[in-house]
Structure 1
Amino acid sequence: MFKHTIVRRPAKSMVEGITSAPELGKPDHALALKQHDAYIEALKACGVDVLVLDALEDYPDSCFVEDVAVCTRAGAIITNPGAASRNKEKDYIVDAVKKFYTEDQMAYITAPGTLDGGDVMMVGDHFYVGLSERTNAEGIDQFTKALAKFGMTCEAVEMKEMLHLKTGLAYLENNNLIVGGEFITTPVFEKFNRLEVSEDEAYSCNCIWINDNVIVPAGYPKTQAKVEALGYNVIVVDTSEFRKLDGGLSCLSLRF
């Protein structure tokens, strides 16, 4: 069960954030704030407290706070984001994370290792980490050693198409896994009860489980129906403005 979440408010500068889909247009900051408000309320409805951090105008993508830390039941790991324009965001999350962990429960990924939290999927005390354009082998090696100190394990996942591992995966606990795109045929995930997402709803792979609730993005009825069929309480949140920056539901919070 999760008790805590950390989010960061979207900066006005988000209109200049990184995107692989310029055809979607630039984000509307005012609408993004409203969507972020709804996201925070959804988190609270799942029974967690929410620490809301101020926007960082110097970092357009900084609302995607998941990428700068990985918070576990036993310790936290400050990452080293692989995108140059985002790398220093990690320096602004440390104080917030230290509100919940002691110094000996902290670890840090350092250069030449890179690691984005969006490439990390937690399944109990085992972690799957995508080897992506943002997360390299050295980063995964450091992450594995840090987890070992916390009594946890890790394995790397080869990937070729997705931005982040969790672009195409969402673990819903109880062995249930939302899976899409290239990960549908990845052997390591065959042992899970897989909810396959069709290409036309690919964005909806990025859902989040919190205390037997599942938050899903608005506009993807087939995925929503599959999650509801498993008995979860589903909360729908519109993330259209964050999608324009390649961001989804999991990207917007740290959950622990």
Structure 2
Amino acid sequence: MQTMQTDVGQIKRVLLKHAKDAFRDDEQIDREWKALNFLARPDRSNAIVEYDAFCDLLSKLGVELEFLPASADTTLDSLYPRDNAVVTDNGIILCTMGKANRQTEPEHQRQHYITRGSKVLGSVTAPGSVEGGDVTWLRNNVLAVANGYRTNAQGIAQLRELTAASVSDFIEVPLPHFRGPSDVFHLMSIISPVADDLAVVYSPLMPVPFRNYLLDSGYRLVEVPEQEYDSQGCNVLAVAPGVCVAVEGNPITKKRLLDAGAEVHTFSGKDICEKGCGGPTCLTRPLERER
């Protein structure tokens, strides 16, 4: 059965933006990386090599790849297209970005969807803001949405209305201050669903009521250790139930996933993931999934 209201179903088609198009040249990287709060300056050549390997891995796992084109009015952050849209069975909802220098990105996705004939259900509009990294589908058709620095109460109210006809429950998750409003911190910084009964989590930053909800709903939690949090240990992409893609360099999290019965495929992400604080879920906007 085809449904987009899952973050663990088999991905059939995904939208990406290649590193060669997001990181257009070294001058752009020099100009933007500090202002965007990257942890270090990305190396464009290595980013392209890493991204090609990431694409090869997705293709081998049966995923059809679509690419957004290069655009002069987007930043290095456009490498992470998940944040620009939320996908439902009734159509695509375009976001308004909470990060000011990412405001142009959703319009580029809109143009892509129009060209491909995909249905756009609606948009979150200012002063509301929603970023796709703050939204995840849980088992039983539940939509969890963060209230934090990137997604605000007005945006949540709009998203609730846009999805009212298609969700069984809508959960609002308040996020902690953590490193402040300039940090890249989303709901999916602390949870990545891997199967309908399995999720990777970073519990030290997880609100107790939300963590208890997951446990009460039957989830087994794979705990990310503190030393693997900044290296994107919690950012894991399910390409099918129990089959996931993760960044290399998080051996404890990987072993815990394997012990939980998951299949884990890793790739090098020093320049495309760790420096920009965006793992494989951030790099991808799945457009079709199957249960």
| Structure-2 residue corresponding to 1:169 | 191
Residue 237 of structure 1 and its aligned partner are, at CA, apart by 1.3
- How far 1:232 moved relative to its partner? 2.3
| 1:1-49 C-alpha deviation (Å, 9 max, x unpaired) | 3211000122223452454454xx2001111111111111222222221
Does residue 72 of the first structure (1) align with residue 94 of the second (2)?
A: no
Distance 1:133 1:145 in 2: 21
Mapped partners of 1:73, 1:40: distance in 2: 25
Secondary structure of 1:128's partner? strand
What is the CA distance between 1:52 and its match in structure 2?
Answer: 1.5
Instruction: State the Cα distance separating 1:100 from its structure 2 match.
Output: 5.8
What displacement does 1:73 show?
A: 3.3
2:96 and 2:125 in contact (8 A); partners too: yes
Aligned equivalents of 2:113, 2:257: Cα separation in 1: 31
1:209 paired to 2:265: no
Q: Is the 8 A contact 2:174 2:207 kept in 1?
A: no
| Secondary structure class of the residue paired with 2:159 | helix
Amino acid at match of 1:49: E
The answer for unaligned runs of 5 or more in structure 2 is 1-9, 179-183
Q: Which residue of 2 aligns with 1:227?
A: 257
- The aligned residue for residue 143 of structure 2 is 127
* Secondary structure at 2:146 match in 1: strand
In structure 1, how many angstroms separate the alpha carbons of the residues matched to 2:266 and 2:124? 34
- Residue type at the aligned position of 1:244: K
What pairs with 1:52-201 in structure 2 (closer than 5 Å)?
52-60=67-75, 61-98=77-114, 99=116, 101-103=118-120, 106-124=121-139, 125-160=141-176, 161=178, 163-184=185-206, 186-190=208-212, 191=215, 192-201=219-228
**Alignment of structure 1 residues 9-24 onto 2, 5 Å:** 9-10=18-19, 11-12=23-24, 13-15=28-30, 16-17=32-33, 19-20=36-37, 22=39
More off after superposition, 216-225 vs 245-254: 245-254
CA pair 126-101 structure 1, distance change in 2 beyond 3 A: farther
Q: For 1:64, give the aligned amino acid.
A: Y
Aligned pair count? 252
Check whether the contact 1:81–1:114 (CA below 8 A) recurs between aligned residues.
yes
Given residue 235 of structure 1, which amino acid in structure 2 is its aligned partner? H
Aligned-residue CA RMSD (Å): 1.9
Aligned twin of 2:181: none
- CA–CA distance in 1 between the matches of 2:251 and 2:279? 17
Corresponding residue for residue 61 of structure 2: 46
Q: Which has the higher contact order (CA 8 A, sep 6+)?
A: 2
Retained in 2: the 8 A contact 1:181–1:199? no
Aligned partners of 2:175 and 2:87: how far apart in 1?
23
User: 1:120/1:185 Cα in 2 relative to 1: closer, same or farther (>3 Å)?
Assistant: closer
1:32 match: 47
Q: Displacement of 1:58 after TM fit?
A: 2.8
Distance verdict in 2 for CA 1:194–1:100, change over 3 Å: farther
- Taking structure 2 as the reference length, the TM-score comes to 0.80
